[in-house]
Structures are given as structure tokens and as C-alpha cells.
Structure 1
Amino acid sequence: LHRPLAAGLILLAAAAAWYQDHLGAVIDKLMIQNVMNTTVTESRQLITVPYLRHMFLTGVIPAVLLFWPRITYARVRGLLWRFPLTIAASFLLTFGFLFINLKANVSIIREHHELLGSYQPGATIGALVRYAKMELRAGNVEVKPLGQDAAKGPALLATKKPVLLVLFAGETARAQNFGLNGYSRNTTPELSQLDVFNFKDATSCGTSTAVSLPCMFSPFDRSDYSHERFMGSENLLDVLAHAGVDPVWVDNNTGDQNIARRTGARMVDVTLNPAACAGGECTDAALLTELSAQIGSITEDTVLVLHMIGSHGPAYYLRYPEGFAPFIPDCRTAEFDYCSQQEIVNAYDNSIAFTDHIIASAIKMLDQQDRVSPALFFLSDHGESLGEAGLYLHAAPMFMAPEVQTQVPFLMWLPQKFQETMHVNAACLTDRTSQPVS
């Protein structure tokens, strides 16, 4: 049993070490949740040639070497004293080395919990166990109703056309690289020409889609949110349904994260826009086709949630079509070791610029039709690290997450007729754009 088990631990530690050393990732319960919720397409982007080389040298070869030596096993009588003696000696040596400088070691362990989170493969095994416990608890909770008395207000009832609120749930867009927020590059040239309410100080609920997106639609704030509490409560889509508003979820990412499990969700229809999905993974241009189809078919008040692929890394260059690259040279691989820091930033900024194009195009599409009374929200689930302090991508634990992973863009487009119909105080809303929101 020892050698197969040790081989498995070596392979697990090698895989975890790659993401820790190259991306600054912390393998905790939430990271395991992200892994379980990802797609095959997204996973392939993380399996690169350097990763395979690392796994072969530090994982496969050591694991294979374990089976090389021939072992003469002791008799059972000998094992009765050798096995416990080996365990006892191992613990004595481990704690003996700790006690050599106990004062320093205790203070480090107490003040730097992230060190315990980097111990491999122990940290990953512990995270897997905690994730399994979390899912077991969440799977057994009873769902509490929320807002069953919700109803349409008088302004909504008085509208002559169906109201369509489009909610773009963005992916991995950080506020610091959003042109409307004062970024040195104009990554939002199209939105800057439109009349939108832009909230410049918006904070996410988490640093990963598996946490931030469900929290965004739940009745809980960051301090009260947990996966178990979310699974045990109805959410915004349920409340809309109770009120007689049709909630529609269309996904171009890793799924609805159980938000629409009672109201229904579907993935983008790749046949509607084959050009946007030619690479095997759709850009967000496919969502514009979905929006056009929805505008032509809805007959009742609707909230349409469009879950974007946005700026999801590490393959930022796949998030915008060929020929759409205002910032060059851009990183054209998912392996950051092959790109300079500026090339990585260029690719990420290109993805933000394409998001700007998608949101602006949606606004223009809504503004030019006359079938529905439209409005639009855009807000990102979390931000992204682009190498600051040695961190890349996202999903850092909240206690150590940098602002680039928690500060997100958030804007609204409310046309004049919508403001008048819904009695929106534009001056009041404008004042709120400069205040912190979450």
C-alpha cells in the first residue's frame, strides 16, 4: 500500500506546486470548488507544455522510481514494533526540529496562515476534505423561501410595453483597467461615448466565480455569505419569478453556479452565431445574438441575465476575435512564462476593450428597437491579478486578496423614457456613483 499511496501524493504535490509557484495560487477549499465547477475547455488552457514538463520531472519520474527498489518485507512479528517505532521517530524528529527555535516558529505559524496553506500535498488533501464536507452539508439543507409576497409595483404595471432589464454578469474584469474608472489607457472607448451611470468604487463579494456570482444574487452580504447558506435560500431569480417577472439565464461561461436551478438556465446556442464560436469556445459576441433573439420574442416583463466569459484567464487572447487587438504585442498563449509582463497586460486590456464593445453594442441594439422598454446593468464578479506581488489570475483568499481582485467595474444604462416611467431620480443616482457600493 505504501508505494501506490506515496506515488499518488507525489503527483498531487507536484500538480499543486506548479500553480502555487507559477501563479501564486493558494490551494484551499474555495480553489477546489473552482476546480470542480470548471469546464473541460477551460481546464485544457491550464495544461501547457511547461506544466507537462514540470509534472514529468517532479511528479512522474519520482513516482516511478518508488517502484524500482526491491523490498524484503519483514515478518508480521517484526512489523508490530517497526511500524509504530517509525511513526514515533518521524513525529519526534518533526517536532524536535520545531522546538529548536520554538519562539520564532510559533509566531510565524500564528501570524502567517498562508504558510500552512502552502504545505503540499497536505494542504490540498485538507482542502478536498473540507470541500466534500461543505458539499454534503449544502446538499442536505432545506431551501427557505424568499420574497414570496413580491409583486410588480405600480410603475412597472403601468408600462405599455414589456420591460426588459438586461443584466450582464461580467467575468474577471477589474476596475483598475477599466477606462471609465480613470485607467491610463482608454479600454472603454465606446462606453465613454454613451450616457451611463458608472460606479467607480464597487467591491465584489469574493475573488472567484464560485463565490462571487452566487453571492451577487443571494440576500447575503460578504460577511454573512457561505455556500451552505446560499444553497439553503432562494435568491433574486426566485423573487423575480414570485413577482411575475420572467427570469432568463443564458450562459457563456462555466454555468449558473446553482443560481438558476429552480428557474432554469441554458448555454449559448452556438448555431446562432457560428463565427463567434469558431474556435471551439464562444466569445461574448454570441451573447449579442442571444439578446437579439430575446428582444424579438419576449411578451412579458423580463430580466435577462447574460453570463459572460469576459476576461477569463489565462488565455486572455481567446476572449476577443482575431483582428481585435488595440494593444499589441499581446500574449498569445495561456503560458505566462512565454510572455513579457507588458504582453500579458496588453492581452488582458484587449479583453476589457472587447467587453466594452459588447456592452456598448447591446446598449445600441436596445436603444434602436421599439418592442420593449429596455435597461441594462453590467457588473463583474471579481477582478484579476496580472503579476502584482507575484500573483496571477484570481481566487486568492479574501484575507490576503489584493484590491485588483476585489475592485470591479459596475455601470447602468437607463434611457430617459425608462427613467421617466420608473420615476428614477437621475441626480440622486449620479451622486451615488462616487460612493462605495458592493
Structure 2
Amino acid sequence: MFTLKNNFKLLSFVLIMSVLNFLFFHYPFFNFVFKNIDYKSVSGVFLIISLIILMLVLNALVFLLFFYLSRFIGKFLLVVFFIFNAIAVYFINTYGVIIDESMIGNMLNTNYEESSSFFSMKLVIYIVLLGIIPSVFIVKSQISSLTLKRFSTITSLALFFIIFLAFINSSNWLWIDKNSKTLGGLAMPWSYAVNTSLFYVHKHQKNEKEILLPNATIKDNEKSIVVLVIGESARSENFSIYGYQKNTNPLLSKINNVVHFNAVSNATYTTAGVKSILEHENTDDLYEILPNYLYRNKIEVIWRTTNWGEPPVHIKNYQNKEYLSTNYNGNNGNYDEILLSGLKEQIRASTNNKIFIVLHASTSHGPTYNKKYPPQFEVFKPVCNSVELAKCSQDELINAYDNTIVYTDYLLSKVIDDLKELKEFKSTMLFVSDHGESLGEKNLYMHGIPISIAPKEQYEIPFIVWLSDNSSKQLKSNNLLNQNHVFHSVLNFLSIESPIYKEEMNIFKPTISN
């Protein structure tokens, strides 16, 4: 029976591991390089050769350090790297993502229900062929030791060579710096190893203490209610009220006082997008978010969610999917319709004149778009039934996604119907998405591309507003909105005075007193 040699000198072994790591996991990296440089020029050829050599030498040097410190640590880390590399490259190849810090945050904040939707046989094949089989070879290999003198000599020469290679590529530094985020997000295993560390460092810094906003004042006792519906992965391009040719908004298009605005998100992933919707300005700091701020200032706040990824919410009435399911008797408990169950009754039971409600939906989140709506909303057919979106035709994929927009249209119309019945309240509904979605354009799927290089499909979002007839509010002629407009517009509608309020970020016209 043929068996691979499993006795290696340490230097030979780490070089082999570096070559395998290069061959197995760096097609996306060099595919990006080839697409973004003139690879036929002398400078382009030199850069490509330099990047190959640099990657091989640098990875071998780091692997050498691990194994010199401990054979067990070295083998353990290499096994982890190969398995995680396989998973990372699967997502890069299948969905066109980049494993940067924001994507790491997206992955770490994903719940089980959502993460399980990505499972496929292709993922298993990646893990087995590129992860487990090399890991067996790594574990069984017998590796000789290295003297301190030889280790010091090798590492010194390698470091000198890396510095020299970087120096002679000084003419390419500008290109590398310009594309550093993408290159770093495609280099294995450092894309997720470094960015996971950065994510936790920044998360710790942000969560040290929530920065409280200055106290607010309620200016009147008028019964007012705002319902903020946070959409998930909804892009404005596929809403017929924005001009889309397929009728994805059969209900909203017939309702009076519904207005839509062009808008953009501040991020392309859920955690940052939801944070932007709830904060008074776009910032990396953890300021007090809108529901917490209103609740602390004596406003009735209700948060209902079938989703995840929001900043810490400090209110009494936080109701997740499990909580809502206990009181739901309908047939669509697995869908976002559960957000509306008993909502009118909860509002009427309140003794507060000012009410703010957040409905955090999950309706258009991929890759299983076809499972995000009840069967009766499958208006456009045939639909994509695979989590490997590239296997579906463009028509099938878009049909499945468009059906989620039809279902969103239904949900928003139901919210409006409920508010219309609460005639004692002046009310408004705001629908704003956390980010957009790629559906195969430029071979990209879903979302999460860094906002600086993201396609418009991932950041052009719907911003839809409905006003009750008795609200006495009118809307400004807003040209282009962003997610931070929500915070100030809610303050305005509920007649809340605050030192951090910005009139230019409010979508409503000033009310003229009689």
C-alpha cells in the first residue's frame, strides 16, 4: 500500500505546509491580483512573483516559529488553519465575500438558525479535501528538531529577505496600500486570524461603557406612535414603488400617504447596519442607541425581533422570536408575521402617550430566500432552492428574492392597517433596511463587502414612510437619506427635545402652530 513519507526535517516540513497552504487556499487572492493589475507588464509580473515568494516565505517563517516553540502547538494550529481555511475559501468562492473584520463580526454574531442555512455538500467536500485530509497528514508526520543556532540563522535570513523584497517593491506600495483591505481579507490564514483578534479588541473597547446622551424633554402629551420596521437585506432596486418592473409592492402602491426616499446604508452587514439605524450619528463609538435613550426618558418602547445583531437593548419590553411564539396561534409562526401578533392589543394596554416600536425582521436574508415567506407568497416562479446560489439561474435567484419583497410588502401593509385602527394616536411607520444584497451581479452574492468597495446593490436601501391622516405632519423633499435620519426623525415625530437633535437630519417639515 502506498504511504506518504512522514519523517521530515522541520524546515522541509514547514516549507511543504506553506506550499500546500498556498496552492489550496490562494486562488481568490491571486484572482483578485490578476484582475486589478496589468499582469502583462514587467511591473505586474514582478509584483505577482514577489507576492508569491513573500507569501511562501512569510507563512513558512510563522509556521517554523510555531513548531520551534512546541510540536504540539504547531500541529494543533496547522490543523485549525487548514480546516478554517477550507471553510473560509468555501464562502469566498461561493458567495464572493472578503474575510475582513466586518465579515468576522457578521459571522461571530450569526445565530444557529441562520448559520445552518449555509450547510451544503459542497461545504463538506471543501472541509474533507482541503481540511481534514491534510490535517491527518500533519498529525501523523514525524518532525525532527532544530538547533537554536540554525533556527536563529534561518529566521534572520528570512526576515532580511522579506524586508529586502518589500524594499525593492517600493514602486508597488501605493497599489498594495490601496488594496490592502481586500488582499488582507483573502490571505489565508491571516484574514480571519488577524481580523478575529481585531474584532474582539475593538468590541472590548466599544463595550467598556455605553456613552449616555444628554437628557431629553417631552414637549407635549399628544398621543403619538412610531413603528420602525428594520428590514433585512432589502435593496431598493427590487421594490416596484422604486421603479422595479415586477410588481413586488401590490399593496403599498395602493395605500395613501406612503412615500419612498432614495437612501444608502452606512455598512453592508447586519450588526453595523442596525447600529447605524439606531444611533444619532455614524460613529465607531458605542453611544446610547435610540430605544435605550427613549426608554430612559420615559417613552414606552417595545422591541420585537425574529433577527439578531442589534447593539445591547436596555428596555423592559424586549420580545424575541421564542417569546412571541408562546402567544401565537396562527399558521405562519415560522415567518416574520409573528412580529405583528397581538401588537395592537399591546399598544392599547399601554398607559403612555408616546410609544416607539421596533420590528426587526429577517425576511430577505439569504441564502435560503425561498424559506423566508409562506407558500402563498411565492408569486414569481421558478425559485432557487439551493444554498449554493451560483448553482441557480439568475432568474430563479431573483424570483426567490423578489418573493421576499412581496412578503415584506404584505407585512408593511399589515402594520399600516393596525395603525389605522388606533385612531386615538397620531402615527407613522418607517421602513429602513440594514443593508442591501447582491444577487449574482459581478459574481457577488449576499452582502458584507467592505463599504468602500461594495457594489451599489449592497448599500442602496429602501426608506419608506407612511403617515396617518391625523398626524398633521408633512415630509420634506429629501433627496438622499441615510440610516442616521431615523434617530432625529423619531425624536421630531414624538415631540422630544434633545441637545443632540439635528433638524437637518429630520425628514419631517416643522409643524406650524395655529
Asked whether the two chains share a fold, i.e. TM above 0.5, the reply is yes
Q: Give 1:386-401 correspondences, 5 Å limit.
A: 386-401=439-454
Q: Which residue of 1 aligns with 2:6?
A: none
Q: Any unmatched runs of 5+ in structure 1?
A: none
Match of 1:238 among 270, 292, 302: 292
Q: What one-letter code is carried by the residue in structure 1 that aligns with 2:201?
A: K
How far apart, CA to CA, are the structure 1 residues paired with 2:140 and 2:471? 74
Q: Which residue of 1 aligns with 2:100?
A: 28
Match of 1:415 among 463, 468, 472: 468
Q: Which residue of 2 aligns with 1:19?
A: 91
Inter-CA distance 35–261: structure 2 relative to 1 (3 Å threshold): farther
Q: Which residue of 1 aligns with 2:231?
A: 170
Inter-CA distance 84–324: structure 2 relative to 1 (3 Å threshold): same
Contact residue 296 and residue 371 of structure 1 kept, 8 A: no
Following TM superposition, by how much is the alpha carbon of 1:370 offset from its aligned partner in structure 2, in angstroms? 4.0
Match of 1:151 among 214, 217, 229: 217
Inter-CA distance 307–3: structure 2 relative to 1 (3 Å threshold): same
Inter-CA distance 43–274: structure 2 relative to 1 (3 Å threshold): farther
Following TM superposition, by how much is the alpha carbon of 1:34 offset from its aligned partner in structure 2, in angstroms? 1.3
Match of 2:152 among 76, 81, 84: 84
TM-score, L = length of structure 1: 0.86
Following TM superposition, by how much is the alpha carbon of 1:341 offset from its aligned partner in structure 2, in angstroms? 1.7
Q: Give 1:80-159 correspondences, 5 Å limit.
A: 80-91=148-159, 102=169, 105-113=172-180, 114-141=182-209, 143-148=210-215, 150-154=216-220, 157=221, 159=222
Inter-CA distance 379–276: structure 2 relative to 1 (3 Å threshold): farther
Q: Aligned residue pairs: how many?
A: 406
Q: Which residue of 2 aligns with 1:364?
A: 417
| SS of aligned partner of 1:431 | coil
How far apart, CA to CA, are the structure 2 residues paired with 1:62 and 1:370? 67
Q: Which residue of 2 aligns with 1:403?
A: 456
| SS of aligned partner of 2:227 | strand
Q: Which residue of 1 aligns with 2:68?
A: none
Contact residue 147 and residue 242 of structure 1 kept, 8 A: no
| SS of aligned partner of 2:431 | strand
Contact residue 203 and residue 437 of structure 1 kept, 8 A: yes
Query: Could you report, residue by residue, the CA deviation over 1:185-237 in whole angstroms, capped at 9, with x for unpaired residues?
Result: 1111110001234233111121111101112111213xxx11xx12xx22222
Q: Which residue of 2 aligns with 1:265?
A: 318
Following TM superposition, by how much is the alpha carbon of 1:24 offset from its aligned partner in structure 2, in angstroms? 1.3
Match of 2:338 among 278, 286, 307: 286
Following TM superposition, by how much is the alpha carbon of 1:45 offset from its aligned partner in structure 2, in angstroms? 0.7
How far apart, CA to CA, are the structure 2 residues paired with 1:340 and 1:391? 14
1:342 aligns with 2:386: no
How far apart, CA to CA, are the structure 2 residues paired with 1:165 and 1:354? 21
Q: What one-letter code is carried by the residue in structure 2 that aligns with 1:140?
A: E
Contact residue 386 and residue 393 of structure 1 kept, 8 A: yes
1:333 aligns with 2:386: yes
How far apart, CA to CA, are the structure 2 residues paired with 1:372 and 1:346? 38
1:199 aligns with 2:267: no
Match of 1:4 among 76, 91, 100: 76
Query: Could you report, residue by residue, the CA deviation over 1:412-435 in whole angstroms, capped at 9, with x for unpaired residues?
Result: 11111122xxxx2x3xx1633xx1
Q: Which residue of 2 aligns with 1:431?
A: 477
| SS of aligned partner of 1:200 | strand
Larger radius of gyration: 2
How far apart, CA to CA, are the structure 2 residues paired with 1:67 and 1:245? 60
How far apart, CA to CA, are the structure 2 residues paired with 1:271 and 1:242? 28
Inter-CA distance 94–6: structure 2 relative to 1 (3 Å threshold): farther
| SS of aligned partner of 1:418 | coil
Match of 2:137 among 41, 50, 65: 65
TM-score, L = length of structure 2: 0.74
How far apart, CA to CA, are the structure 2 residues paired with 1:299 and 1:20? 51
Q: Which residue of 1 aligns with 2:25?
A: none
Q: Which residue of 2 aligns with 1:375?
A: 428
How far apart, CA to CA, are the structure 1 residues paired with 2:381 and 2:253? 22
Q: Which residue of 1 aligns with 2:244?
A: 183
Q: Looking at both structures, which has the greater relative contact order when contacts are Cα pairs under 8 Å and sequence separation is at least 6?
A: 1
Q: What one-letter code is carried by the residue in structure 1 that aligns with 2:253?
A: S
Query: Could you report, residue by residue, the CA deviation over 1:224-254 in whole angstroms, capped at 9, with x for unpaired residues?
Result: x11xx12xx2222233234432111111101
Query: Could you report, residue by residue, the CA deviation over 1:119-176 in whole angstroms, capped at 9, with x for unpaired residues?
Result: 11111111011012112212323x332131x22223xx1x3xx432211111110011
Query: Could you report, residue by residue, the CA deviation over 1:33-91 in whole angstroms, capped at 9, with x for unpaired residues?
Result: 112211111110112211111111111111111123333x34xxx52123234434544
Contact residue 266 and residue 451 of structure 2 kept, 8 A: no
Inter-CA distance 43–275: structure 2 relative to 1 (3 Å threshold): farther
Query: Could you report, residue by residue, the CA deviation over 1:299-336 in whole angstroms, capped at 9, with x for unpaired residues?
Result: 32211111111201111111101232111101123221
Q: What one-letter code is carried by the residue in structure 1 that aligns with 2:397?
A: I
Q: What one-letter code is carried by the residue in structure 2 that aligns with 1:110?
A: D
Q: Which residue of 2 aligns with 1:214?
A: 275
How far apart, CA to CA, are the structure 2 residues paired with 1:140 and 1:257? 13
Q: What one-letter code is carried by the residue in structure 1 that aligns with 2:94?
A: H
How far apart, CA to CA, are the structure 1 residues paired with 2:329 and 2:130? 41
How far apart, CA to CA, are the structure 2 residues paired with 1:264 and 1:135? 26
Percent of aligned pairs with the same residue? 28
Q: Root-mean-square deviation (CA), in Å?
A: 2.2
Q: Any unmatched runs of 5+ in structure 2?
A: 1-71, 483-514
| SS of aligned partner of 1:166 | strand
Q: What one-letter code is carried by the residue in structure 2 that aligns with 1:375?
A: T
Contact residue 237 and residue 263 of structure 1 kept, 8 A: no
